[in-house]
């Protein structure tokens, strides 16, 4: 193969998936595209109003013909297209509780239509991790559920729904991030399950989507000692070539989770993380947001050095670049236009878990007030508006009028969360109070919604206020 400087640079750039800052196409990205860069990822920093996002995507395609645009549009809590207002879709945990694959496919088709209109060809979803650890800090309601058969059937439905809209799916986070209590954005988690448990649990949804023809799978920055006791999955030939390519038979594009995460590059830096991922068998390296020209060139230089030192075989690099190009070519082939928005929408509230206390609260004919307590989200979610606040239905705790019943809305109700103290203070003031958990339940909460998207928030508000009229929010009041 041709390993001259220009040809090698072109191959390397073909394997990179950078992000960039802002709402305009940077000159360095256009220059890199001329040299071989073929894909880019949009993040929250690239999202403004719909017209601006549409203009950005159109400009990317105009200035970089053939470019593959990717983004994390999972629907539910993790959204990029709806980063400012929250996603109208319910999210995976709600869909899993409803357990109607037709509704799951319909949700994915709507997401796919939104992406396809903008020319976004690769969606970094669905999450097919099994949330087997209730206190998982990064998966939670992004998962369809806690059992392999449930997650597998909804993962396949989601992939097919997205495909119906002409958009490629990318299942994540291989070989399974659900049985962790550490966020790989911040550290390096471990999954200490046996191989037998991994086969029956973590790997089953991936096996199902591979058999369904998924074009891309994303790695996770986790150590799974039963598969590789030393290296995170993203850097492990045993996991990527042995398990994913070998035992599962996957032939598509292996995408890394973002290499700026601490679980990947915290101790070694992004350029070295890129080298290790390519050497292990990854094809497309997600560099994270705000890549910039300096980091891009340092990554290219590190991979060039690794090829010269024999750490990366030129033939393997060429094969990775070819797989990426095949995905791009496939997405460039026009698909039949999807039918307009005729897909059924779920009754989201049917997925809510309503305890006895919440049922009694709902039956109370007192006027309802909703107080939302700010709850920190993980880095995958970001600072997206959520819950009842996403539909403008919250009131400050200090503005609750006498005689009102109050729903205190929060998420991630672990020990030490401020929401119970807010609820206690309102009870002491004479209000009937329930606590609403908008995340995965951890033992707290009178009502659990299994999601915090704007769509879930709307359904929650309708449920909480369905008997009386809601309390009028005073002018200038803010949620807390």
For residue 164, the enclosing domain spans: 5-332
75 touches 108 (CB < 8 A): yes
pTM: 0.92
Percent of the chain with pLDDT over 90: 80
Domain CATH code at residue 277: 3.20.20.300
Please indicate, yes or no, whether residues 319 and 365 belong to a single structural domain of this protein: no
Task: Give Dmax over CA atoms of the chain in angstroms.
Answer: 78
Please indicate, yes or no, whether residues 113 and 175 belong to a single structural domain of this protein: yes
* Rounded distance between C-alpha atoms, residue 378 and residue 384, angstroms: 11
In sequence order, the 6+-apart residues with CB closer than 8 A to the CB of 209 are 128, 152, 155, 156, 159, 169, 171, 217
Please indicate, yes or no, whether residues 298 and 398 belong to a single structural domain of this protein: no
Q: Catalytic one among 164, 183, 228, 257?
A: 257
The string of DSSP codes covering 145-205 is: -SSHHHHHHHHHHHHHHHHHTT-EEEEEEET--TT-SS-TTTS--B----HHHHHHTTHHH
In total, how many domains does the chain have?
Answer: 2
If you average pLDDT over residues 315-338, what whole number do you get? 86
Please indicate, yes or no, whether residues 299 and 419 belong to a single structural domain of this protein: no
Asked if the structure places residue 198 within a domain, the reply is yes
Please indicate, yes or no, whether residues 244 and 109 belong to a single structural domain of this protein: yes
Please indicate, yes or no, whether residues 409 and 274 belong to a single structural domain of this protein: no
Asked if the structure places residue 20 within a domain, the reply is yes
Whether residue 468 is predicted with pLDDT greater than 70 in this model: the reply is no
Asked if the structure places residue 478 within a domain, the reply is no
Whether residue 475 is predicted with pLDDT greater than 80 in this model: the reply is no
Asked if the structure places residue 469 within a domain, the reply is no
Q: Active site includes 177?
A: no
Determine the pLDDT at residue 340.
65
- Helices 203-211 and 148-164 cross at an angle (nearest 10°) of 30
**Structure tokens, 327:** 């995905």
**Structure tokens, 107:** 């949700």
Whether residue 343 is predicted with pLDDT greater than 80 in this model: the reply is yes
Please provide residue 178's backbone torsions phi and psi, each rounded to the nearest 5 degrees.
-80, -30
* Rounded distance between C-alpha atoms, residue 190 and residue 172, angstroms: 16
In sequence order, the 6+-apart residues with CB closer than 8 A to the CB of 186 are 262, 263, 379
Asked if the structure places residue 477 within a domain, the reply is no
CB atoms within 10 A of CB 310: 8
If you average pLDDT over residues 31-59, what whole number do you get? 94
In sequence order, the 6+-apart residues with CB closer than 8 A to the CB of 30 are 63, 64
CB atoms within 10 A of CB 213: 13
Please indicate, yes or no, whether residues 305 and 215 belong to a single structural domain of this protein: yes
What confidence tens digit (pLDDT) does each residue in 409-452 have? 999 898 889 999 999 999 999 999 999 999 999 888 999 999 99
Domain boundary among 285, 305, 332: 332
Report the DSSP pairing between strands 368-372 and 405-410.
Answer: parallel
Asked if the structure places residue 289 within a domain, the reply is yes
Closest CA to 257 of 154, 141, 380, 146: 380
Whether residue 346 is predicted with pLDDT greater than 70 in this model: the reply is yes
Whether residue 169 is predicted with pLDDT greater than 50 in this model: the reply is yes
434 touches 357 (CB < 8 A): yes
Confidence of residue 404 (pLDDT cuts 50, 70, 90): very high
Calculated CA dihedral for residues 392, 51, 79, 267, nearest 10 degrees: -120
Please indicate, yes or no, whether residues 260 and 365 belong to a single structural domain of this protein: no
Please indicate, yes or no, whether residues 171 and 307 belong to a single structural domain of this protein: yes
Please indicate, yes or no, whether residues 319 and 403 belong to a single structural domain of this protein: no
Closest CA to 395 of 455, 471, 448, 289: 471
Determine the pLDDT at residue 338.
57
Please indicate, yes or no, whether residues 319 and 431 belong to a single structural domain of this protein: no
What confidence tens digit (pLDDT) does each residue in 278-320 have? 999 999 999 999 899 999 999 999 999 999 999 999 999 999 9
Report the DSSP pairing between strands 168-174 and 216-219.
Answer: parallel
Could you say which DSSP state residue 73 is in?
A: -
H or E segment and range at residue 375: none
Report the DSSP pairing between strands 433-437 and 16-18.
Answer: unpaired
105 touches 165 (CB < 8 A): no
Closest CA to 331 of 187, 162, 96, 195: 162
Q: Active site includes 185?
A: yes
Determine the pLDDT at residue 339.
59
317 touches 12 (CB < 8 A): yes
Please indicate, yes or no, whether residues 290 and 367 belong to a single structural domain of this protein: no
Domain boundary among 302, 332, 362: 332
Q: Catalytic one among 82, 185, 221, 431?
A: 185
Domain boundary among 332, 363, 386: 332
- Identify which of 164-168, 173-177, 343-347 has the greatest average pLDDT: 164-168
Asked if the structure places residue 479 within a domain, the reply is no
Confidence of residue 393 (pLDDT cuts 50, 70, 90): very high
Determine the pLDDT at residue 337.
58
Asked if the structure places residue 343 within a domain, the reply is no
Closest CA to 54 of 66, 42, 65: 42
Calculated CA dihedral for residues 3, 41, 145, 196, nearest 10 degrees: 10
């Amino acid at each position: 193969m041709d390993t001259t400087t220009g040809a090698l640079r072109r191959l390397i750039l073909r394997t990179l998936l950078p992000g960039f800052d802002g709402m305009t196409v940077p000159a360095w990205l256009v220059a890199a595209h001329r040299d071989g860069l073929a894909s880019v990822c949009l993040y929250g920093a690239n999202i403004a109003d719909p017209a601006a996002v549409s203009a950005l995507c159109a400009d990317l395609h105009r200035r970089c013909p053939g470019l593959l645009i990717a983004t994390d549009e999972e629907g539910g809590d993790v959204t990029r297209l709806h980063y400012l207002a929250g996603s109208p879709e319910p999210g995976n945990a709600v869909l899993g509780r409803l357990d109607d694959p037709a509704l799951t496919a319909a949700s994915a088709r709507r997401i796919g239509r939104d992406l396809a209109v903008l020319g976004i060809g690769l969606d970094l979803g669905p999450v097919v991790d099994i949330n087997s650890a209730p206190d998982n800090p990064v998966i939670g309601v992004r998962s369809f559920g806690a059992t392999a058969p449930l997650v597998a059937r909804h993962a396949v439905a989601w992939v097919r729904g997205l495909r119906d809209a002409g958009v490629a799916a990318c299942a994540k986070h291989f070989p399974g991030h659900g049985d962790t209590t550490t966020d790989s954005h911040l550290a390096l988690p471990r999954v200490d399950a046996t191989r037998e448990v991994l086969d029956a649990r973590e790997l089953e949804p991936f096996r199902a989507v591979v058999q369904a023809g998924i074009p891309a799978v994303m790695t996770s920055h986790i150590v799974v000692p039963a598969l590789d006791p030393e290296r995170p999955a993203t850097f492990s030939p045993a996991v990527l070539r042995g398990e994913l390519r070998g035992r599962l038979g996957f032939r598509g594009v292996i995408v890394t989770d973002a290499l700026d995460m601490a679980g990947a590059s915290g101790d070694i830096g992004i350029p070295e993380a890129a080298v290790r991922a390519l050497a292990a068998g990854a094809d497309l390296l997600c560099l994270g947001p705000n890549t910039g020209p300096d980091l891009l060139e340092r990554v290219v230089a590190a991979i060039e050095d690794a090829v010269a030192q024999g750490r990366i075989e030129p033939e393997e690099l060429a094969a990775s670049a070819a797989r990426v190009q095949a995905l791009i070519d496939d997405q460039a082939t026009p698909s039949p236009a999807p039918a307009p928005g005729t897909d059924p929408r779920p009754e989201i509230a049917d997925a809510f878990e309503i305890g006895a206390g919440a049922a009694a609260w709902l039956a109370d004919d007192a006027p309802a007030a909703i107080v939302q307590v700010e709850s920190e989200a993980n880095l995958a979610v970001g600072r997206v508006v959520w819950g009842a606040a996403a539909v403008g239905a919250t009131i400050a705790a200090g503005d609750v009028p006498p005689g009102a019943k109050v729903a205190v809305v929060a998420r991630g109700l672990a020990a030490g969360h401020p929401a119970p103290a807010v609820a206690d203070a309102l009870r002491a003031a004479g209000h009937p109070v329930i606590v609403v958990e908008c995340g995965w339940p951890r033992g707290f909460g009178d009502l659990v919604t299994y999601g915090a998207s704007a769509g879930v928030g709307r359904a929650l508000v309708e449920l909480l206020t369905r008997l009386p009229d809601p309390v009028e929010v005073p002018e200038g009041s803010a949620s807390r």
